[in-house]
């Protein structure tokens, strides 16, 4: 159910609940749509009629194929909000055939741009139809009906003037569910107001909304972190998790799903909190939602180190052999370069150069004619 604002101001979320309808207005990661492909055009019953040819044979053309409904990957999008307001989508039918064996025009396809990371599922069968994972990838979710055959196809030695042609076949109809799971190399995980958005804005080219109150981030933000030698990786700032998120509390399950697509998790915890306790709560929430998330490589960034001044961090850090810890500050840039290199190392271990080119810079000697990657 879509929540609609009435008299509330959009200047600032005053509670967890008040952010929900704002999120639904600005970002959508789920939609259900009814799609109907176009019907095929009817075949033509027609006979050749020319001067001096009074008894020409059948020459009825075939009907055109109906238009299909197609999804297409667009890396510039990060929401399927538009489709939430297009509940019924119907493609154009094919045109009927004509004389002189002319085929009818094919119905125009409807192409729906969707973000990368969009899963498509048939609602009736609950089976996954496909997944959009790269630019310009297409998935036909409703196939247009075939055009009917014209009477030319039904001629024979004993039936030289067939009076029949085929009708066009109906296009596919189905209800599909679209679910967006953002694709990113690094997923930022942390409590509200832990400094994730500020860190993302410093480490990458992203410009997320930043403020001093919790739940500033009410939709995922993506940013590309650039390193030396043309290296780069994509980061996603997931809205803050609170205890009980796996049960739907806070912004809950609607954003936890995005973490599943990340290759590595970056836990962000403020130096002003009880670091070990918060880290354990975050692990528990992820494990309760999807245990396999704890198998992902992880890095812990202790932020806001500038607030300590010259005083060293005086509390124990989590004893997790699977997690590298980096002390950093988005204000002074302390530890930022180290954090980026640590994350790169984690990703490189997952994507060795001998198995996948990934985002490593090109070897100029081996490939002197190749352009440098973006």
Tracing tokens 């989508």 back to the chain, one arrives at 89
Q: What is the pLDDT of residue 56?
A: 77
Element (H, E) at 178: strand 173-180
What are the residue ranges of helices labelled H in 67-204? 81-84, 196-203
- What is the gyration radius of the CA atoms in the chain, in angstroms? 29
Contacts of 85 (CB under 8 A, 6+ apart): none
Cβ-proximal residues to 202 (8 Å cutoff; 6+ apart), any chain? 330, 333, 336
pLDDT beneath 70: ranges in the chain? 1-28, 53, 182-183, 205-220, 239-256, 352-374
CATH 2.70.210.12 is held by the domain 28-180: yes
Whether the CB-CB separation of 260 and 291 falls below 8 Å is answered with no
Three-state DSSP at 244 gives coil
**pLDDT of the residue at 219:** 57
Distance CA 180, CA 161 (A): 56
CA distance 289 to 300: 20
What CA–CA distance (Å, rounded) separates 259 from 120?
Answer: 18
Identify each DSSP E strand in 7-159 by its residue range: 30-36, 69-73, 88-90, 110-114, 118-122, 128-132, 138-142
Phi/psi at 188 (nearest 5 deg)?
-85, 125
Q: pLDDT tens for residues 218-229?
A: 456 777 888 888
Question: Are 102 and 63 in contact, with CB atoms under 8 Å apart?
Answer: no
The angle subtended at Cα 340 by Cα 339 and Cα 342, nearest 5°, is: 65
Instruction: Report if pTM > 0.75.
Output: no
Domain limits of the chain?
28-180, 186-350
Say what the pLDDT of residue 11 is.
35
DSSP state of 63: P
CATH topology of 28-180 equal to that of 186-350? no
* pLDDT of the residue at 251: 45
pLDDT digits (tens, 9 = 90+) for 278-319: 999 999 888 888 888 899 999 999 999 999 888 888 888 998
**First-to-last CA distance in the chain?**
41
136: left (phi over 0), alpha (psi -120 to 50) or beta: left
Neighbours of 262 (CB within 10 A): 24
Pick 186-350's CATH classification: 3.20.20.150, 3.40.50.300, 3.40.50.170, 3.40.1010.20.
3.40.50.300
Would you state the torsion angle of the CA atoms of residues 353, 358, 364, 370, taken in this order, to the nearest 10 degrees? 140
């Amino acid at each position: 159910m879509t929540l609609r604002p009435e008299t509330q101001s959009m200047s600032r979320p005053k509670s967890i609940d008040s952010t929900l309808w704002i999120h639904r207005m600005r970002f959508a990661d789920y939609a259900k749509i009814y799609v109907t492909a176009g019907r095929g055009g009817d075949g033509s019953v027609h006979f050749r009629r020319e001067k001096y040819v009074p008894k020409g044979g059948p020459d009825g053309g075939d009907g055109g194929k109906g238009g299909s409904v197609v999804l297409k990957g667009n890396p510039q999008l990060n929401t399927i909000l538009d489709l939430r307001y297009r509940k019924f989508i119907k493609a154009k039918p094919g045109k009927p055939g004509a004389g002189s064996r002319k085929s009818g025009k094919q119905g125009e396809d409807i192409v729906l741009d969707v973000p990368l990371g969009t899963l498509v599922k048939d609602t009736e069968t609950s089976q996954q139809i496909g997944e959009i994972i790269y630019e310009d990838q297409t998935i036909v979710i409703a196939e247009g009906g075939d055009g009917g055959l014209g009477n030319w196809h039904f001629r024979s030695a004993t039936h030289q003037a067939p009076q029949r042609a085929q009708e066009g076949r109906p296009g596919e109809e189905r209800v599909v569910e679209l679910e967006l799971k953002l694709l990113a190399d690094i997923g930022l995980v942390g409590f509200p107001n832990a400094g994730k958005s500020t860190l993302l804005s410093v480490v990458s080219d992203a410009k997320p909304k930043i403020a001093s109150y919790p739940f500033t981030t009410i939709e995922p933000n993506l940013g590309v972190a650039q390193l030396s030698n043309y290296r780069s990786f994509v980061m996603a700032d997931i809205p803050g998790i609170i205890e009980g998120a796996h049960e739907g509390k806070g912004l809950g399950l609607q954003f936890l799903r995005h973490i599943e697509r990340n290759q590595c998790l970056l836990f962000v915890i403020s130096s002003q909190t009880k670091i070990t306790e918060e880290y354990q709560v975050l692990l528990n929430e992820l494990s309760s939602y999807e245990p396999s998330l704890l198998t992902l490589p992880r890095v812990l960034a202790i932020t806001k180190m500038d607030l300590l001044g010259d005083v060293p961090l005086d509390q124990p850090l989590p004893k997790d052999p699977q997690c590298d810890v980096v002390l950093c500050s988005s204000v002074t840039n302390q530890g930022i370069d180290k954090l980026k290199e640590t994350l790169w190392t984690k990703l490189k271990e997952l994507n060795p150069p001998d198995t996948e080119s990934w985002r490593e810079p090109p070897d100029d000697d081996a490939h002197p004619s190749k352009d440098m990657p973006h």
